[in-house]
Chains A and B, each alone.
Chain A
Amino acid sequence: MKKIFLLHLLFFFSFSKLYALIEVDITRGNLDPLPIAVSPLHVDVKSEKSQDLKIKDLGDNISEIIERNFRSTGLFNPLKKEAFVQKPDIAHLKPRFEDWRLIKAQALVTGKLLILNGKLKVEFRLWDLAAAQEMTALAFTTSPSNWRRVAHIISDKIYERLTGEEGYFDTRIIYVAESGPKNQRVKKLAIMDQDGFNTKYLTLGNELVLTPRFNPTSQMVTYMSYFRNMPRVYLLDIETGTQEIVGNFPGMTFAPRFSPDGKKIIMSFAKDGNSDIYTMDLDSRLVERITDHSSIDTSPSFSPDGKFIAFNSDRSGLQQIYVMRSDGSNVKRITFGKGIYGTPVWSPRGDLIAFTKMHKGKFYIGVMRIDGTGERLLTENYYQEAPSWSPNGRVLVFYRETKAGDKGAGFSAKLWSIDITGYNERRLSTKTDASDPSWSSLLSK
């Protein structure tokens, strides 16, 4: 995989060995978000001019991205800048802690940036205001055009320091962009930063495309396309734009997903009215049949250790979720609740399976333990499905469709996210209608 850019991470202060006094508990729904002040980054006056960037505003823009990221988690409450009491450069050297405490901030982010010799240098510090000490400090050097990513990486570092969990801001979401009337929908592959910026379209909309999914180890994508009216699973390199059909199946292949090591694609192949699950090794091209049953077996998803596969099957009559070993042995049904269950997706942490449930005309997104116990329904709606995990396993993104009236009036499809606590449900901003989201791994990992 080509690296998009080289990121230099320099630790220029050692981490404080003292225990931090502030900590964000994200294991429960956070009803009391942490008040945090994100000071605009100070722009060094020695900075060069840049043609594409307004250097003067860069410090404000970066801090705004960080604030938006924090607010989107529901765990933090970024404070209004009007109340800030110190200039960015002075605060960055050493904040007057008592002044910041006065505006009820518990944590403070400061930073400065400099553009020199065509490089953007950014440093930031995270301060624990109650303990009056620095918690984290980092500096980066990168190309100025990467300034949005710098903001996301800073957000990730602060999130990690305050929650003890990996962040998920320096990530992208691939999805299907939708337009046009409901019965003549035009669908294109689209990719954007997790905050809705930098949208790019990867297909033109000439053919129907569905269910793109990221490779967890690279910027490869697998998806389904009706190119030349042959519904097949494709592999796409989003950096080079090259793509190919996966395998040589004499019929429809669909529901693709990568194995956790990124080396295999698992998918369904439909023939003579029967859909079974197959894998194909991307190096050896070896195709393996995993299920052999007269029912519909589809929506397969590997466990993060690669040892198990969750999938849905109607072998008991209606769609239910099953788990088996990755060689197809030891198939066990895990859903026995009221309703129909589909689209199991294994959490990157391995402890939970996200799913879609249909019951009495309603659709639910939920999570359960991998043996099917501990079912928790997170959200109920007219129609929603296709959960995809944030790389840290804390948030699910999915799509939701509205009810349509005559001639499809009032129909829309949008992306939404929700914490696995069931709190903080929010709509993701997309330029068009959208469905089938898939969350990437951390780009800078």
Chain B
Amino acid sequence: MNLGEKMTLNTNLKNIFLVVFTTLILSACSTAKKSGEIEGDVYTGKETVEFLAAGVPDRVFFATNKSSLTTASRATLRKQATFLRKNKNLNVVIEGHADERGTREYNLALGERRANAARDYLMTYGISGKRISVISYGKEKPVNPKSSPVAWSQNRRSVTVKVN
């Protein structure tokens, strides 16, 4: 085999790879679309979301077994903090929830941890801890009762609820 032949072979291989690669990307995109709006296991869609006031979503979503806040969650909570600063007499309770794919008792603890993650963030934006109580419902109050990855991602949430 001379050098020229080898080069041609390589080019051919490259072309094949390119085709395969593009197909993979395309199919990955279509599955992501099909399964709803989830990024890195965290729900990013609008379904189920309610509002404390115009432009102030009431909830943030979490990854499986996690209680860390995503960039989007932090943006939502900053809106909530602004809203709460404007409404000084308003108190809230943050409900922490988990999906159905965990043991009941652990999920109660996980819901509490999620609610507190949201509460802590509101507090760093100047909202007094006295105005924010938390309650965990674990997996007891799913917002979407379906057993699917989208439903689970919608159920892994903390919801800020006005109490007065």
Q: Which residues of A contact B (CB under 8 A)?
A: 181-183, 185, 208, 210-211, 229, 231, 251-252, 254-255, 268, 270, 272-275, 296, 298-299, 312, 314, 318-319, 342-343, 356, 358, 361, 382-383, 385-386, 401, 403-408, 411, 435-436
Q: Is there contact, CB below 8 Å, between B143 and A183?
A: yes
Q: Which residues of B contact A382 (CB under 8 A)?
A: 147
Answer whether residue B116 sits at the interface, using C-beta atoms and an 8 A cutoff. Answer: yes
Report how far A314 CA is from B101 CA in the complex, Å: 16
Q: Is there contact, CB below 8 Å, between A342 and B106?
A: yes
Answer whether residue B45 sits at the interface, using C-beta atoms and an 8 A cutoff. Answer: no
A interface footprint on B104-131 (CB within 8 Å = 1, 0 otherwise) = 1110111011011100100000000000
Answer whether residue B162 sits at the interface, using C-beta atoms and an 8 A cutoff. Answer: no
Q: Is there contact, CB below 8 Å, between A401 and B100?
A: yes
Q: Which of A254, A312, A404, A406 contacts B108 (CB 8 A)?
A: A254
Q: Is there contact, CB below 8 Å, between A296 and B110?
A: yes
Of all chain A residues, the one with the shortest Cβ separation from B143 is A183
10 new A-B contacts, CB < 8 A, other than A275-B113, A312-B106, A383-B101, are: A182-B142, A182-B145, A252-B136, A255-B105, A299-B106, A314-B106, A318-B65, A342-B103, A358-B102, A403-B147
Bin chain B's interface residue count.
Answer: 20 to 34
Of all chain A residues, the one with the shortest Cβ separation from B120 is A273
Q: Which residues of A contact B65 (CB under 8 A)?
A: 314, 318-319
Q: Which of A275, A299, A319, A404 contacts B112 (CB 8 A)?
A: A275
Of all chain B residues, the one with the shortest Cβ separation from A342 is B103
24 residue pairs A–B, Cβ–Cβ below 8 Å? A181-B145, A183-B141, A185-B140, A210-B104, A252-B136, A254-B105, A254-B108, A270-B113, A274-B113, A296-B110, A298-B105, A298-B106, A314-B106, A319-B102, A356-B103, A358-B103, A382-B147, A383-B101, A385-B103, A385-B104, A405-B147, A406-B146, A407-B145, A408-B146
Nearest-neighbour CB distance to chain B for A72, whole angstroms, equals: 26
Answer whether residue B73 sits at the interface, using C-beta atoms and an 8 A cutoff. Answer: no
Answer whether residue B135 sits at the interface, using C-beta atoms and an 8 A cutoff. Answer: yes
Answer whether residue B76 sits at the interface, using C-beta atoms and an 8 A cutoff. Answer: no
Chain B CB within 10 Å — which of A181, A273, A318 has the most? A273
Answer whether residue B144 sits at the interface, using C-beta atoms and an 8 A cutoff. Answer: yes
Report how far A411 CA is from B146 CA in the complex, Å: 9
Number of A-B contacts (CB under 8 A): 103
Q: Which residues of A contact B147 (CB under 8 A)?
A: 382, 403-405, 411
Report how far A298 CA is from B144 CA in the complex, Å: 26
Q: Is there contact, CB below 8 Å, between B135 and A252?
A: yes
Answer whether residue B67 sits at the interface, using C-beta atoms and an 8 A cutoff. Answer: yes
Question: Known interface pairs A296-B106, A298-B106, A385-B104. Does A272 touch B146 (Cβ–Cβ under 8 Å)?
Answer: no
Q: Is there contact, CB below 8 Å, between B108 and A229?
A: no
Q: Which residues of A contact B140 (CB under 8 A)?
A: 185, 208, 210
Q: Which residues of B contact A435 (CB under 8 A)?
A: 104
Q: Which residues of A contact B117 (CB under 8 A)?
A: 273
Report how far A274 CA is from B117 CA in the complex, Å: 11
Of all chain B residues, the one with the shortest Cβ separation from A408 is B145
Report how far A383 CA is from B152 CA in the complex, Å: 14
Q: Is there contact, CB below 8 Å, between B105 and A211?
A: yes
Nearest-neighbour CB distance to chain A for B156, whole angstroms, equals: 15
Q: Which of A298, A361, A383, A401 contacts B109 (CB 8 A)?
A: A298
Q: Which residues of A contact B120 (CB under 8 A)?
A: 273
Nearest-neighbour CB distance to chain B for A185, whole angstroms, equals: 7
Q: Which residues of B contact A270 (CB under 8 A)?
A: 108-109, 112-113, 136
Q: Is there contact, CB below 8 Å, between A183 and B112?
A: no
Q: Is there contact, CB below 8 Å, between A273 and B112?
A: yes
